[in-house]
Amino acid sequence: MALEDKAWAQRQKAADSYRLALTQAWKLGLYTPMTRLATERLGALRPEELPPLEESILEPGYLSAQDHQADFERAL
């Protein structure tokens, strides 16, 4: 067996293990740094099965620049 074939088999085992870990985590409702790592690694091994995680950060341009003050009743 060639070295590439052995490496391919190990990658498949790793991807299956990451998939099993994620399935259990989702079943138990867990989200930890290890869950995120497993998601990233599975996405790297099988990008067609799990696309990479992307985080979009909103620009603060949607907020109002005006200050609003309100007077509240202090006594009844």
Q: Which run of H or of E encompasses 53? A: none
Is 12 contained in some domain? Answer: yes
pLDDT tens, position by position, 20-74: 999 999 999 999 999 999 999 999 999 888 776 677 787 776 666 677 677 777 7
Residue 18 placed within a domain? yes
Residue 28 lies in a domain: yes
Please tell me the number of Cα atoms within 13 Å of 40 on its side-chain side: 8
Residue 15 lies in a domain: yes
Q: Is residue 57 part of a domain?
A: no
How far apart (Å, rounded) are the C-alpha atoms in residues 30 and 20?
A: 13
Q: Which domain holds residue 20?
A: 3-49
Give the integer Cα–Cα distance in Å for 8 and 12: 6
Domain count, the chain: 1
Say whether pTM exceeds 0.85.
Answer: no
Kindly state the tokens that stand for 17.
Answer: 């293990």
